[in-house]
């Protein structure tokens, strides 16, 4: 049977969710998988709540609609927990990963999801500020995602990250991004 | 098979790439959402010297197509791209391009027409251009958009056709999603499309020619139109030939319709564009449960594949036609009307149900497709048919 993984990203415009969805898709392609990545387009205003979607599969992907029943939900901004139903449609046994300082058990209680859903917290913004020196949480969030699921490969991801960054930045920036990925991988906690 | 590379990229990006590989001499274009990144990336290729093309920035789509008409009559290979209101603004030049038999290739990012204002996908724009005389392709995926754009050049410039060709892809759904796409090497594409050798170029001062002249009462206007019809009919054969040749370098078989499960299907969905994938996905799941369902995707809209569609639907007990465009006051959307027409000469009378869906980018959720197959199953079992036209998934109160 085809193995299809569906990821829904929640973020505020400008946080890099679309870029992250794209890099995750490229990482999947590098492992010879099929993938799809698309933002839900609307009026583009910095800070507005947005969604983006990534599908990864062992077989060609034929569906061309939004993801309503995700396997994985990634939230780049925890202020969205108050205004968006980020847990909507999440599968039993699914994963919700939030960029937050709040411990995962508290996030889980607040979301009111059933026990089979794994809820994870990581302070990706804090890590990004320490390493990349800017609040761009998308890259460390992928590091945490890799810890929680085997949907993409860490080495392939880091390789692509370096390749993409090297177009505009030097080794220092690549090292900072790698450090952010490693720290999020190490620091993410699950309830 | 030719060399290729596999990319994670968008529909618009690979359409721009296909255009670069086909080496147009002139592009005249005006940006409009969601087509913009096609002309933006192509302009980048010109600026970086990656293609030797005269890029004409114009002040509107009306001017864009006018410049394309002039350049094409002059003898250039010409391409452009547009969407929605832009295509609508081109309307009079669309007829002129076809009437002057100019092999212009245009990409269209399928998008709703105002009002209300909406930038998202439906097929209203393209259906408005239905009778302008352009050969018209629909793409389900970025891959098909890439392939169709390359084939379009050969079809347009074929001596038996000499008509403009539109290669369409669904706005945002296909234009902006990142998808897995195989892109051929430059040499294979340029070898496949070859060089354009215009028959009567305006710039040939040795043999002056008149294009688009007056052909009024008593003139050859009526006969010109018959020749356009003949050219469109010839396109049927040429499209298949070019499709077969392209399959040899791409490894991707091409036909004017694409069928899934139709050998023994009892019910079928007929559809254009990206929604074909959603339909096939649901059909696979229903097949796994033993339901005999099928999907027919129409890849070439003009000339419409009547014979192929009728053959594919032979023996089916109920057909649903999904239209992403309205034809207010008609019995159904444009694809519904064509499908019923295709089935008129069939031996058995088959119930055909029309659905209008996804207008203005309304999401085509899988449960909507499931509902269509359920309706078909009820009809095939002798149950009551739904009304003649269903607005699939529309809220009662908006």
With beta carbons under 8 A apart, name residues in chain A contacting B283. Answer: none
| Residues of A with Cβ-Cβ distance to B34 under 8 angstroms | 41
The arithmetic mean of pLDDT across residues B100-129, rounded, is 98
- Measured in angstroms, the CA of B370 and the nearest CA of chain A are apart by 13
Residues of A in contact with B183 (CB under 8 A): none
Hey, how many other C-beta atoms are within 10 angstroms of the C-beta on A154? 16
pLDDT in tens, B32-47: 999 999 999 999 999 9
A37 neighbourhood in chain B, CB within 8 Å: 8, 177-178
Phi-psi region of A125 (alpha: psi -120 to 50; beta: other; left: phi over 0): alpha
Which residues in chain A are contacts of B36 at CB distance < 8 A? none
Q: What letter would DSSP give residue B52?
A: -
The Cα of A66 is separated from the nearest Cα of chain B by a number of Å equal to 7
Nearest Cα of chain B lies from the Cα of A23 at a distance, in angstroms, of: 9
Domain closes at, from B230, B250, B270: B250
Name, in order, each residue with C-beta under 8 angstroms of B267's C-beta and a sequence gap of 6 or more.
Answer: B292, B293, B294, B316, B317, B318, B319, B320, B373, B376, B377, B379, B380
Give SS3 for B38: helix
Whether B172 and A41 lie within 8 Å, measured CB to CB = yes
Q: Which of A29, A38, A63 sits opposite B180 (nearest CB)?
A: A29
Q: Report chain A residues whose CB lies below 8 A from the CB of B277.
A: 61-64
How many secondary structure helices (H) and strands (E) does chain A include? 6, 7
Strand pairing report for B257-260 and A118-122: unpaired
- Residue range B144-153: average pLDDT? 98
What's the mean per-residue pLDDT of chain B?
A: 96
**One domain for residues B180 and B290:** no
Question: Strands, E, within chain B: which ranges?
Answer: 4-10, 26-29, 54-57, 78-82, 105-110, 135-139, 165-170, 178-184, 257-260, 267-271, 293-298, 300-302, 318-323, 352-356, 389-391
pLDDT at B53: 98
Question: Rounded distance, CA A4 to CA A63, Å?
Answer: 11
**Average of pLDDT values for B370-395?**
88
Contact list in B for residue A29 (CB cut-off 8 A) is: 6-8, 180
Domain ranges of chain A: 4-190
CA of A31 to nearest chain B CA: how many angstroms apart?
Answer: 12
What's the CATH superfamily of A4-190?
A: Pyruvate-ferredoxin oxidoreductase, PFOR, domain III (3.40.920.10)
CB atoms within 10 A of CB B358: 29
Pairing between β-strand B4-10 and β-strand B178-184 as defined by DSSP bridges: antiparallel
pLDDT attached to residue B219: 85
Residues B244-278: tens digit of each pLDDT:
999 999 999 999 999 999 999 999 999 999 999 99
Chain A nearest-CA residue for B173: A64
Q: Are residue B336 and residue B244 in the same domain, yes or no? A: no
Assigned domain for B195 exists? no
Backbone angles phi, psi at A105, to 5 degrees: -65, -35
* Tokens of residue B55, six digits: 């890029």
pLDDT of amino acid B386: 62
Q: Which two tokens stand for residue A33?
A: 């998988």
3-state secondary structure of A49: strand
Alpha-carbon gap, residue B140 to B271, rounded angstroms:
10
Please choose, from the candidates A36, A33, A31, the residue with its C-alpha nearest in 3D space to the C-alpha of residue A21. Answer: A36
pLDDT value of residue A153: 94
Average pLDDT over residues B345-357: 92
Domain count, chain B: 2
Among B210, B168, B164, B207, CA closest to B72: B164
Q: Are residues B242 and B336 in the same domain?
A: no
pLDDT tens digit sequence for B167-216? 999 999 999 999 999 999 999 999 999 999 999 999 999 999 999 999 98
With a CB cutoff of 8 Å and minimum separation 6, the contacts of A166 are A174
Do residues B326 and B238 both lie within one domain? Answer: no
Q: How many whole angstroms separate alpha carbon B391 and alpha carbon A7? A: 30
Count how many Cα atoms sit within 13 Å of the Cα of residue B165 in the half-sphere of its side chain.
29
Who's near A51: CB < 8 A, 6+ residues apart? A8, A9, A10, A39, A40, A66
B140 contacts in chain A (CB < 8 Å): 64
What is the number of alpha carbons within 13 Å of residue B323 lying toward its C-beta?
27
Q: What is the CATH number of the domain that holds B73?
A: 3.40.50.970
Q: Is the pLDDT at B346 greater than 70, yes or no?
A: yes
Tell me the residue range of the domain where B348 lies: 257-391
For residue A21, the model assigns a pLDDT of 87
Let me know whether B63 and B164 are in one domain.
Answer: yes
CA–CA min distance B220, chain A (Å) = 47
Are A39 and B280 an interchain contact pair (Cβ–Cβ within 8 Å)? no
**What's residue B33's pLDDT?**
95
Closest-CA residue of chain B to A37: B178
User: Which CATH number is B298's domain given?
Assistant: 3.40.50.920
Residues of B in Cβ contact (< 8 Å) with A21? 178
B257: β partners: B298
Substitution target from A4, A18, A24, A62 for chain B, most B beta carbons within 10 A: A62
User: What is the pLDDT at residue A45?
Assistant: 80
Residues B323, B246, single domain; the answer is no
Collapsing DSSP to helix, strand or coil, B341 comes out as helix
Tell me how far apart the alpha carbons of residues B324 and B332 are, in angstroms, rounded to a whole number: 11
B30/chain A closest Cα distance in angstroms = 21
DSSP string across B272-294: -TTHHHHHHHHHHHHHHTT--EE
> Does B280 sit within 8 Å of A62, measured CB to CB?
yes
Whether B228 and B366 map to the same domain: the answer is: no
B25 lies in the same domain as B121: yes
pLDDT in tens, A94-122: 999 999 999 999 999 999 999 999 999 99
**% pLDDT > 90, chain B:** 94
Say if residue B273 is in the same domain as residue B138.
no
Contact: B173, A64; criterion CB under 8 Å? yes
Q: Do B275 and A41 touch (CB under 8 A)?
A: no
Return the half-sphere exposure (C-beta side, CA atoms, 13 A cut-off) of residue A61: 29
Contact call for B178 and A41, based on CB within 8 A: no
Claim to verify: residue B230 and residue B264 sit in the same structural domain: no
Which stretches of chain B sit within 8 Å of chain A by CB?
6-8, 34, 119-120, 140, 170, 172-174, 176-180, 274-275, 277-278, 280-281, 363-366
Q: Has residue B117 got a pLDDT over 60?
A: yes
Contacts of A65 in chain B (CB under 8 A): 278, 363-366
- B88 within domain boundaries: yes
Instruction: Give the A:B interface size as CB pairs under 8 Å.
Output: 63
- What token pair was written down for B277? 């994938």
Contact state of B277 with A25 under an 8 Å Cβ cutoff: no
Assign 3-class secondary structure to A107-132: HHHHHCCCCCCEEEEECHHHHHHHHC
Q: What is the distance in angstroms between the Cα of A135 and the nearest Cα belonging to chain B? A: 25
> Are residues A34 and B120, on separate chains, in Cβ contact within 8 Å?
no
Q: Helix (H, G, I), strand (E, B), or coil: what is residue B150?
A: helix
Q: Do residues B246 and B331 share a domain?
A: no
> Looking at the partner chain, which of A26, A35, A64 has a beta carbon nearest the beta carbon of B275?
A64
Q: Are B228 and B128 found together in one domain?
A: yes
The secondary structure element, H or E, covering residue B195 is none
User: What percent of chain B has a predicted confidence (pLDDT) above 70?
Assistant: 99
pLDDT at B398 exceeding the cut of 70: no
ipTM: 0.91
Q: Which of B33, B30, B97, B98 is nearest to B60 (CA)?
A: B30
Q: Is the CB of residue B322 less than 8 Å from the CB of residue B355?
A: yes
Residue B13 pLDDT: 98
Position A43 scores a pLDDT of 63
Provide the pLDDT for residue A22.
Answer: 87
10-residue stretch averages of pLDDT, chain A, 191 residues long: 88 88 91 92 80 95 94 97 95 96 97 96 98 94 95 94 93 96 98 94
Q: How many CB atoms lie within 10 A of CB A118?
A: 18
């Amino acid at each position: 049977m085809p193995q299809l993984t569906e990821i829904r990203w929640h973020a505020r415009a400008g946080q890099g969710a679309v870029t992250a969805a794209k890099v995750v898709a490229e990482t999947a392609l590098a492992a010879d998988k099929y993938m799809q990545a698309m933002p839900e387009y609307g009026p583009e205003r910095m800070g507005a709540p947005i969604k983006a979607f990534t599908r990864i599969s062992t077989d060609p992907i034929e569906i061309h609609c939004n993801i309503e029943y995700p396997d994985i939900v990634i939230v780049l901004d925890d202020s969205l927990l108050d205004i968006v139903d980020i847990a909507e449609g999440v599968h039993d046994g699914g994963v919700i990963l939030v960029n937050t300082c709040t411990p995962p058990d508290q996030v889980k209680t607040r979301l009111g999801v059933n026990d089979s859903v794994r809820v994870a917290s990581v302070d990706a913004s804090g890590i990004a500020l320490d390493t990349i020196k800017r609040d761009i949480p998308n890259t460390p969030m992928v590091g945490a995602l890799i810890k929680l699921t085997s949907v993409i490969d860490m080495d392939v991801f880091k390789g692509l990250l370096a390749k993409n960054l090297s177009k505009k930045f030097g080794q220092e920036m690549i090292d900072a991004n790698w450090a952010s990925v490693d720290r999020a991988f190490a620091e993410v906690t699950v309830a | 098979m030719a060399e290729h590379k596999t990319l994670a990229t968008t529909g618009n990006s690979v359409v721009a790439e296909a255009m670069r590989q086909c080496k147009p001499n002139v592009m005249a274009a005006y940006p409009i959402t969601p087509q913009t990144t096609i002309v933006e990336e192509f302009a980048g290729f010109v600026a970086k010297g990656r293609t030797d093309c005269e890029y004409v920035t114009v002040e509107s789509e009306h001017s864009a197509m006018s410049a394309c008409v002039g350049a094409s009559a002059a003898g250039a290979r010409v391409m452009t791209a547009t969407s929605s209101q832009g295509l609508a603004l081109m309307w009079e030049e669309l007829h002129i391009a076809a009437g002057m038999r100019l092999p212009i290739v245009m990409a269209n990012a399928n998008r709703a027409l105002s009002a209300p204002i909406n930038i998202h996908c439906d097929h209203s724009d393209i259906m408005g251009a239905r009778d302008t005389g352009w050969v018209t392709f629909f793409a389900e995926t970025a891959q098909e958009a890439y392939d169709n754009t390359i084939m379009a050049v050969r079809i347009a410039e074929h001596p038996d056709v000499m008509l403009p060709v539109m290669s369409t892809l669904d706005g945002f759904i296909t234009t902006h999603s990142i998808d897995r796409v195989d892109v051929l090497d430059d040499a294979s594409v340029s070898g496949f499309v070859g060089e354009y050798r215009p028959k009567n170029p305006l710039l040939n001062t040795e043999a002056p020619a008149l294009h688009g002249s007056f052909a009024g009462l008593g003139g050859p206007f009526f006969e010109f139109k018959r020749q356009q019809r003949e050219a469109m009919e010839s396109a049927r054969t040429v499209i298949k030939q070019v499709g077969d040749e392209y399959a040899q370098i791409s490894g991707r078989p091409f036909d004017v319709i694409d069928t899934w499960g139709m050998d023994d299907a009892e019910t079928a969905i007929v559809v254009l564009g990206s929604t074909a994938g959603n339909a096939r996905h649901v059909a696979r799941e229903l097949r796994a449960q033993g339901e005999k369902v099928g999907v027919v995707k129409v890849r070439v809209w003009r000339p419409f594949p009547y014979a192929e569609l009728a053959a594919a639907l032979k023996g089916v007990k109920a057909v649903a036609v999904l239209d992403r465009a309205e034809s207010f006051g008609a019995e159904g959307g444009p694809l519904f009307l064509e499908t019923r027409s295709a089935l008129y000469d069939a031996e058995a009378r088959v119930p055909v149900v029309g659905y209008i869906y996804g207008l203005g980018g309304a999401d085509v959720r899988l449960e909507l497709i499931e509902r269509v197959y359920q309706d078909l199953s009820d009809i095939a079992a002798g149950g009551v048919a739904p009304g003649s036209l269903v607005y699939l998934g529309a809220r009662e109160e908006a």
